Amino acid sequence: MKASVLKVENGDPVATLRGLLRRLLEEKVVDVLLVPKALPSGSGFVQTLIKDPDMVSDVHPLAPTMAVQSGRILSYLTVDEPDARIGAVIKSCEVRAVIELAKFLQTKLDNLVTIGVDCMGTFEVEDYAAAVEEKGDGDALVDGLLKGAQTGRVEVPDGIELRTACGMCENPVPINADITIGLFGHYSKQEIEIIVGDRMERDVQERGILDLSAEASEKRDQVIAQLIEERTKKRDEIFGAFREKVSDLQGLMNTFSTCVRCHNCMVACPICYCKECVFRTPTFEHQSDQFLRWADRKGGIQMPTDTMIFHLTRLAHMVTSCIGCGLCDSACPSGLPVATLFRTVGHGVQAMFDYVPGRDPEETPPVATFREDELQMESGAKD
């Protein structure tokens, strides 16, 4: 990997990055660009696929919300191996989702250029919109995140918080991105570090887009280490509180008792990619008499039925590949701690296999391999 220090023009990092993205399009480094674009109201952002360089004028590569997981979008865009080269400006958890999905043949990386952004965290879409309406614009929120990127400590106005998943994310830096927009350790109103992976070095240098002669920033590494330490501490606190709350089956059932089985969490999740799902089949479309028989046998049943089996089955299917984006929480109409459940269980399961989802495209997922000697300690088996 090689690095370049991008000088920020007029103290405006967003405008400077727009210029960089425009050049990537104009110089045909990418044919199209997936990037967050501001809504006309200014109250949010939506991922947009852009072909015309002139339309880059109001994109926001540092958008502080995430309405949809781009791993899912890029699955749609790349699974059929399009001829065009797609550049995607995405956050660190989205980069990991793309890499993880590639292992299951749900994304293709050959014609995809991942442009990962150092992520200080995101706000819930509705929280951001409310803050913008109250304060007049979202610049203060973005500035607070950028200032935090310099020091490793988030600064946001009172009355708004980062999404829970972001507050305990110990992977804030894009892993294996082709191009990384490095914010950590830099005063972003003056400079931004652009880190280019081996695959894109030649394209970027030969077209004169960046001078890749900068030394790696030691301050960046220090800030990242500090942030990860703080996030890990926060993560462990959340895990501990959740484990205490669901220490037995009744506690788990109580916590998820208001699930309406809308499947929103499944739809929002990038890792739930199955084209056919058992929860969308007649298996869980019971006849009226069946409900009445259950009520007669048990004295009463909670409606809708099958809510816990839905979450536990989904958990068993994809917890080793959960990348912790937290979009399941954002999608839940009942405000259930779905992401905390998956992260708490996922952390333990992934540690068993020494597996970090999205870490390496060549790393085989635990569900796709078998070793006779695995899980001996956990199972109590002897050598």
Question: Along the 383 residues of the chain, how does pLDDT read in single tens digits?
Answer: 899 999 999 999 999 999 999 999 999 999 999 999 999 888 899 999 999 999 999 999 999 999 999 999 999 999 988 889 999 999 999 999 999 999 999 999 999 999 999 999 999 999 999 988 887 777 888 888 898 888 888 777 777 889 999 999 999 999 999 999 999 999 999 999 999 999 999 999 889 999 888 887 889 999 999 999 999 999 999 999 999 999 998 999 999 999 999 999 999 999 998 888 888 888 888 888 988 998 999 898 888 888 899 999 999 999 999 999 999 999 999 999 999 999 999 999 999 899 999 999 999 998 888 777 766 655 566 65
Q: Which residues pair with 49 in a beta bridge?
A: 34
Domain match, 223 and 354 both? no
Q: What are the CA-CA distances from residue 103 to residues 79, 192, 317 (Å)?
A: 12, 32, 15
Question: What is the secondary structure of 233-263 as a DSSP string?
Answer: HHHHHHHHHHHHHTSSHHHHHHHTTT-----
pLDDT reported for residue 160: 85
Domain span including residue 339: 246-379
Domain match, 296 and 372 both? yes
Residue 274 lies in a domain: yes
pLDDT reported for residue 281: 83
Domain match, 20 and 51 both? yes
Domain match, 265 and 335 both? yes
pLDDT reported for residue 46: 94
pLDDT reported for residue 379: 59
Number of domains in the chain: 2
Single out the residue in 234, 267, 302 at which a domain terminates: 234
pLDDT reported for residue 41: 84
Residue 219 lies in a domain: yes
pLDDT reported for residue 221: 92
**Coil, strand, or helix at residue 76?**
helix
| Closest among 190, 346, 309 to 355, alpha carbons compared | 346
Domain match, 163 and 265 both? no
